[in-house]
Amino acid sequence: MNKKAVYAGNFYPENPDDLNSLLDSYKEPLSSDYKSKAVIVPHAGYIYSGHAAMAGYQYLEASENIFIIAPSHYETFNNIALPEYTFFETPLGNIEVNNRLITEIAEKFPCIIADEIFEKEHSIEVQLPFLQNIFYPQRQSAVDFVKNIKKLGRKIRIVPILTGNCDYRLISDLISTYWGNSSFIISSDLSHYYTQEQCRQIDTYTATIIETGRLEFLENAQACGLTGIKGLIDFANNNECSLIRSEMYNSGDISHEKDKVVGYGSWFLYEDSRNNYIQKYYSKYILETARNSIIYAINHEEYIPRQIPSVLTQHGASFVTLKLNGELRGCIGSVYPTKPLILDIIDNAKNAGFQDPRFEPLTIEELDKLEVSVSILSSIERINFKDEKDLLSKIYPYGIIIAERDRRAVYLPVVWEQLPDREIFLNSLKEKAGLPSNYFSRSLEAYKFSAIYITEDNIIYH
């Protein structure tokens, strides 16, 4: 039996040509060619959330099975629900359900199988035209056609799953079990029916939690598809993956209504750290931004890029180092993330050029020979130690911060190249903090972090 489309002509156009045209209009050139096996995307009417959804779908990798994990808005039940439908219908055609896999899941996981739970549900239906448009485009350029030739004859099948009163670890286990030959769509809007100002505050907080993996701080009011989001975060945490933001806004940004707005965001899962993703795909952009910040500052102007990749709007901490003829000419940075990473880099570049107390401000004559590098820091982790010998055993190869009351100093990991001996490294760091090199007390605090380095020598061009 087929599942009829219920929301065609309401949440999205009923005419196939109009539907494809609308979906195509949401596509934007991507600055990264990465394809992800898991995305978080919204499920509202396309006029509101379509742009955010497509921003996530453009990163989705085609797999044999596409799991769509969505909240149930109309029915109450425990654990998860699966359908018996053979196909889900949309204006763009039918999309097949993997019934064999559904039978297998029902044997392994606590669930119910009931078509009626899916009958009125929009959180899965609105995702299907995106899949058909992305993986079976009606119109494509000659270049895209050639690229997609190897996909001809390959079809995808969906595994629709609705979550009820469900432990998020069930979703995490489900993703882990079928990760090898599947991709995953987590269907969720963000906050509902707050004022636009409140919505932005709540969604920014939610985004930070998603991007830092602190799922224990997520609450039901933050997202309707919270179970699926927490399940994906848990999977990411357990597999050293990161969730990268691709878009975020709210309905008020579209309708210009300020009351009772809904938030929308999309993320994709990257199978490494966020900083490694930034280094791989945005090194050139970051160096150009840092250099432009210095150039504008010489002319007493503030530099703000016109187009900022979403991943650089996430909070982050950075150091900007300037060298002239191989010698240090300025270095200023942030240890803790207090603002969007792109703004942190802009501010630190300007301050390294004109506010480092060790150097005179840069002159316009120095710009041509100026070497600019940017370090992006990981999160800070406290080092627990019982004595100085124990501390020395734990500091390599990290960046290290020491703090003793009002005295504090930091060395980036790159300093190990100049000070490879652990004892000399630590003693030098003490002196930088204004402490004697042989100083030690039980009140001394130490923290570690890692960093990625972006220089002209390690830019990867795509």
In this predicted structure, the answer to whether residue 462 has a pLDDT above a threshold of 50 is no
Residues 198 and 154 in one domain: yes
pLDDT above 70: percentage of residues in the chain:
95
Residues 202 and 335 in one domain: no
In this predicted structure, the answer to whether residue 257 has a pLDDT above a threshold of 80 is yes
Q: What is the pTM of this model?
A: 0.87
pLDDT tens digits, one per residue of 304-351: 898 899 999 999 999 999 999 999 999 999 999 999 999 999 999 999
In this predicted structure, the answer to whether residue 435 has a pLDDT above a threshold of 90 is yes
- What's 360's domain CATH number? 3.30.700.20
In this predicted structure, the answer to whether residue 154 has a pLDDT above a threshold of 90 is no
pLDDT range class, residue 138, cuts 50, 70, 90: low
Residues 231 and 283 in one domain: no
**What is the count of structural domains for the chain?**
3
Q: Is residue 459 part of a domain?
A: no
**Average pLDDT, stretch 440-451?**
95
Domain final residue pick, 357, 377, 397:
377
pLDDT at 155: 81
Residues 185 and 248 in one domain: yes
Domain final residue pick, 377, 407, 435:
377
pLDDT at 153: 44
pLDDT range class, residue 459, cuts 50, 70, 90: low
pLDDT at 149: 47
Residues 63 and 14 in one domain: yes
- What's 402's domain CATH number? 3.30.1490.150
Residues 21 and 111 in one domain: yes
Domain final residue pick, 314, 348, 377:
377
Quote the domain boundaries for residue 371: 277-377
Positive or negative, the CA dihedral 24, 310, 35, 184 is negative
pLDDT tens digits, one per residue of 202-251: 999 999 999 999 999 999 889 999 999 999 999 999 999 999 999 999 99
Residues 109 and 148 in one domain: yes
pLDDT at 458: 64
pLDDT at 140: 45
The full 3-state SS of the chain, as one line of letters, equals CEECCCCECCCECCCHHHHHHHHHHCCCCCCCCCCECEEEECCCCHHHHHHHHHHHHCCECCCCEEEEEEECCCCCCECEEECCCCEEEECCEEEEECHHHHHHHHHHCCEEECHHHHCCCHHHHCCHHHHHHHHCCCCCCHHHHHHHHHHCCCCCEEEEEEECECCHHHHHHHHHHHHHHEEEEEECCCCEEECHHHHHHHHHHHHHHHHHCCHHHCCHHHCCCHHHHHHHHHHHHHCCCEEEEEEEEEHHHHHCCCCCEEEEEEEEEECCCHHHHHHHHHHHHHHHHHHHHHHHHHCCCCCCCCCCCHHHHCECCEEEEEEECCEEEEEEECCCCCCEHHHHHHHHHHHHHHCCCCCCCCCHHHHHHEEEEEEEECCCEECCCCCHHHHHCCCCCCEEEEEECCEEEEECHHHHHCCCCHHHHHHHHHHHCCCCCCCCCCCCEEEEECEEEECHHHCCCC
In this predicted structure, the answer to whether residue 53 has a pLDDT above a threshold of 60 is yes
Residues 341 and 434 in one domain: no
pLDDT at 137: 76
pLDDT tens digits, one per residue of 401-414: 999 999 999 999 99
Q: Is residue 462 part of a domain?
A: no
Mean pLDDT rounded to a whole number for the chain:
93
**Strand 451-454 with 370-377, pairing:** antiparallel
Residues 213 and 228 in one domain: yes
- What's 39's domain CATH number? 3.40.830.10
pLDDT tens digits, one per residue of 14-35: 999 999 999 999 999 887 899 9
Residues 359 and 429 in one domain: no
Q: Is residue 36 part of a domain?
A: yes
Q: Is residue 8 part of a domain?
A: yes
